[in-house]
Amino acid sequence: MAATSKTDQKAALDIASWLFNVVTSVGIILVNKALMATYGFSFATTLTGLHFGTTTLLTTFLTWLGYIQPSQLPWPDLLKFVLFANFSIVGMNVSLMWNSVGFYQIAKLSMIPVSCLLEVVLDNVRYSRDTKLSILLVLAGVAVCTVTDVSVNLNGFLAAAIAVWSTALQQYYVHYLQRKYSLGSFNLLAHTAPVQAASLLLVGPFLDYWLTNQRVDAFNFSFVSLFFLILSCSIAVGTNLSQFICIGRFTAVSFQVLGHMKTILVLVLGFTFFGKEGLNMQVVLGMLIAILGMIWYGNASSKPGGKERRSPSIPITKAQKLNGLSETSESDGKV
């Protein structure tokens, strides 16, 4: 009875984590779309720096109140994480500028196989046939409803490759650091957000000027655009936290696969609030295929043998052993 109750509690927390991530992610996409497209604030890298700056203020305040307990994250690991994360942000922005929308979407879809490769090589994870097929079905469905014109050039391809690999490494590293150092989501965010905020706010204005030929300090704010900027920064705190929570509870691959539900929701809400241009049977069919693939993935990866870690890949410290935190060579129960 106690085991059933614990399982039900875990399932409820898993669902709540995903809902938290979906709501905040979809919300920030819609708010940023209004801020950038409607009000002309096209400084994406600087905006991301402001997001992490706001997150830093919150984590500092919670640490001061005692809600976030002191923890350790060695500087080499912190700097590697920030390097991956910042290359991901910059790479995505440059990739979108240099590539067609179709190739940009293909690059985003390729993050799933890259994340799978990282788990296979670094964590010795093995996937069942059904799990692999369900991932392919999700990729096919999202491709059908998002990929249109596809053209590529060498610079765009290199930018996309950097963006994909750095994003996959950053998301893998979230899960890795939380397990290795027994860090909670708030703890990891408290370590990483200040460094990301400082680096992005330093580089962002120059990068945005290069991408847009406009200076962020010359932007003429209206009351409404300032409201959307503050709203974007506020929602970003939840988005950043929910990403760490989800990847910590699951894995980077599951975060990517099930995360495409956000792509579907953004399309649906975009058609609802910004007009039905581009809505056709191909898009609807792609959405249905992707949703079926996500349901299949959730079912296949949760079965015994659906996704297993054959041996521990992270050194277990003596302190972790004493606290009963060491991992076994069997499946770790994450999907």
Is residue 314 within 8 A of residue 179, CB to CB? The reply is yes
Is residue 297 within 8 A of residue 253, CB to CB? The reply is no
pLDDT at 114 over 60: yes
What per-residue confidence (pLDDT) applies to 315?
52
Is residue 300 within 8 A of residue 128, CB to CB? The reply is yes
Q: What does the pLDDT average to over 29-56?
A: 91
What per-residue confidence (pLDDT) applies to 38?
86
Determine the Cα–Cα distance for residues 32 and 271; give it in Å rounded to an integer: 16
pLDDT at 184 over 80: yes
Could you report the per-residue pLDDT of 229-281, keeping only the tens digit for each? 999 999 999 999 988 888 888 777 877 777 777 777 767 776 676 666 656 77
pTM given for the model: 0.78
Could you report the per-residue pLDDT of 47-85, keeping only the tens digit for each? 999 999 999 999 999 999 988 888 999 999 999 999 999
What Cα–Cα distance (Å) separates residue 280 from each residue in 102, 271, 273? Answer: 17, 11, 16
Query: Whole-number mean pLDDT of the chain?
Result: 82
